[in-house]
Amino acid sequence: MAGVGKPPRNQDVVLSGGWILATTILGSGMIFIDGTVVNVALPAIQTALSTGISEVQWVVEAYALLLAALLLMGGSLGDLYGRRKVFAIGVALFSVASAWCGFAPNIGQLIFARGLQGVGGALLVPGSLALISAGFPKEKRGRAIGTWSGFTSITAAIGPALGGFLVQYGSWRWVFFLNLPLGLIVLILALRKVPESRAEEADVKIDWLGGLLVTAGLGGIVFALIQSAPIAGMIGALAMIGFLFWERGFASPMAPFRLFHSGDFTAANVLTLFLYCALGGLVFYLPLNLIQVQGYSPSKAGAALLPFILLMFLLSRWSGGLLDRYGARLPLVVGPLIAGAGFALFAVPRVGGSYWATFFPPLLLLGLGMAISVAPLTATVMNSVDQRHAGIASGINNAVSRIAALLAVAIFGVVLNSIFQNALSRQLDALTLQPRVRAEIDAQLSRLAAIETSSAPAKEAIKESFVSGYRVTMWMAFALAVGSAISAATLLSKRPAIESSS
C-alpha cells in the first residue's frame, strides 16, 4: 500500500508546521506566563518566607541574570547539537526547576531554583523561533512568526490575572506548579511531532568563556547594587571589560560587535536599554505598591495590569500600519514619549484613591506608548543588518531588553530603599512611639512596605515612605523613556523601516 492515499509532501509540511507552532507557542508561553505571574506573587513570597526586599529582588534577578547572559549561547547550542534537542532540554530543566521553586522550604533554595529556571529559559527561548525558521519555508515563515507572537502575547496577558487568582485562592507555590503540566505537554509534542534541525554551517563554535564572563560581569554588578558590595561591583566591571576584549578576538563570538557598526542597530539597542529599563522597574515594584501599600488583593493586583498588556496586544496590527506609513523613526520618538507620560502619571498617586482615577490612566498611556514602539523597534533591529545576521541581531536585542530589566530592579531598588528609610525615619521621629515598637520597626527596615507593626500611625508612615521612594523611581522611569525617544530622534536614520541594509 506504499504510496496509496499518501498525502503530498506540502501537506506533510503543513501538518509538521502546525505541530511546530503548537509546541513553540506552549513552550514560549511557559516563559511569558512566568515572566508576568511571578511578580504578582512576590508580596506573598516575602510574607510567607519572612524575607527582606533584597531577597525578593534576587527571586527575580537570579532568573533574569542567567536568562539574559546565556540567551545567545542557548541559540548556538541549538545550532550545533540540534534545535529540538536543546529546546526539549530547556523545557525539561525549566519544568524541574519550577517544581523545585514550588517546594522550596526557604528563600535560599527558591533563589537557586529560579537561577536554574533561567538556564532552562536560555535554552528554550531561542529554540522556539529557530524551530519555526527551520520548519517553515521562507514564504510562510513571516505568518508563522506572527501567529507565534500573537498567541504568546495572549499568554503574557493572562499571566498577572492567573497569578493573582492562584496566590489569593491557593498559594504562591501554585504559580510555579502551573508550569509542570505545560512542560509535560510541550516535551511530548517536541519529541513526537517536531523534526530535528541543525545549522547548515559545520564550524559553529560555542563561546563558553564569553558566556562565563558576561554572567560574572552582570552578576557582580547586580550583586553590588543589591547587597551594597563594592568589591563585587569591581569584579563584575573587570569581567565585563574582559568580555568585551574576548568578544573582539574570538572567531565565533556570542555577541559580534561588528553589528554595532550599523548606526540604526546601535540606536535601536540604546532605545531598548532605556525603555525596557523603565518598564522593568515598573513591572517589579508596581505589584508591591498595589498589594502592600494600596491594599489590593492579589487577584485585583493581577487584573489591574490587564489594560496595559491587552492594549499592546490589540494595537499590534495598527502599530504595524504606522510602521508602513511613517517608517520607524517617528513612532520610535512618539511611542516612548507617550510611555513616558504614563510613567509620570504613575508618580502622582499617594496612598488611597480609586483604581480608575489613579492607576488605570497611566496604564492606558503606557500600553499605547509601548504598542506604538514595539513593531518599529523590531523592524529596525531586523532591517539594520544584513539578513544573514538577522537571527543574532534579534537575539542581541532580546538580551539587551532582559539586561535592562535586570539592572532596573537593582538600581531602582537602591534608590527606593534609600528614600524609604530616610522618609520613614523622619516620620517615626515625629510620632510618639514606644521604644519597643520603634525597635521592632527598625529591625525590619529591609522589608520596606512589608514591615509588620501593631501601631496604626506607624503603618501609615510605612506606606507613605514607600510611596515617596516609589514616586522617585517612576520619575527615573520617565527620564529613561524620554532618553529613549531622544536616542531615536538623534541616532536613527530617516529611511523607511521597510528598507533593509545590505
What mean pLDDT do residues 450-477 have? 96
Residue 161 to residues 6, 168, 307, 371, 410, Cα–Cα distance (Å) = 46, 11, 11, 20, 25
What mean pLDDT do residues 288-313 have? 91
Provide the pLDDT for residue 256.
Answer: 85
The string of pLDDT tens digits covering residues 313-358 is: 788 778 777 777 888 899 999 999 999 999 999 999 999 999 999 9
Fold that domain 259-502 belongs to in CATH: Growth Hormone; Chain: A; (1.20.1250)
What mean pLDDT do residues 275-300 have? 95
Least confident segment among 26-30, 359-363, 468-472 = 26-30
Whether 432 shows a pLDDT value over 60: the answer reads yes
Three-state secondary structure along 24-93?
HHHHHHHHHHHHHHHHHHHHHHHHHHCCCHHHHHHHHHHHHHHHHHHHHHHHHHHHHHCHHHHHHHHHHH
Task: Work out the number of other CB atoms within 10 angstroms of the CB of residue 351.
Answer: 13
Of the pLDDT bands very low, low, confident and very high (cuts 50, 70, 90), residue 2 is very low
**49 touches 98 (CB < 8 A):** no
Provide the pLDDT for residue 203.
Answer: 64
Whether 191 shows a pLDDT value over 70: the answer reads yes
Please tell me the pTM assigned to this model.
0.90
Q: What superfamily in CATH does domain 11-192 come from?
A: MFS general substrate transporter like domains (1.20.1250.20)
Of the pLDDT bands very low, low, confident and very high (cuts 50, 70, 90), residue 18 is confident
Provide the pLDDT for residue 388.
Answer: 65
Residue 15 sits at the vertex; the CA angle it makes with 2 and 124, to the nearest 5 degrees, is 125
Least confident segment among 9-18, 80-89, 412-421 = 9-18
Whether 496 shows a pLDDT value over 70: the answer reads no
Provide the pLDDT for residue 8.
Answer: 41
The string of pLDDT tens digits covering residues 108-121 is: 999 999 999 999 99
Of the pLDDT bands very low, low, confident and very high (cuts 50, 70, 90), residue 28 is confident
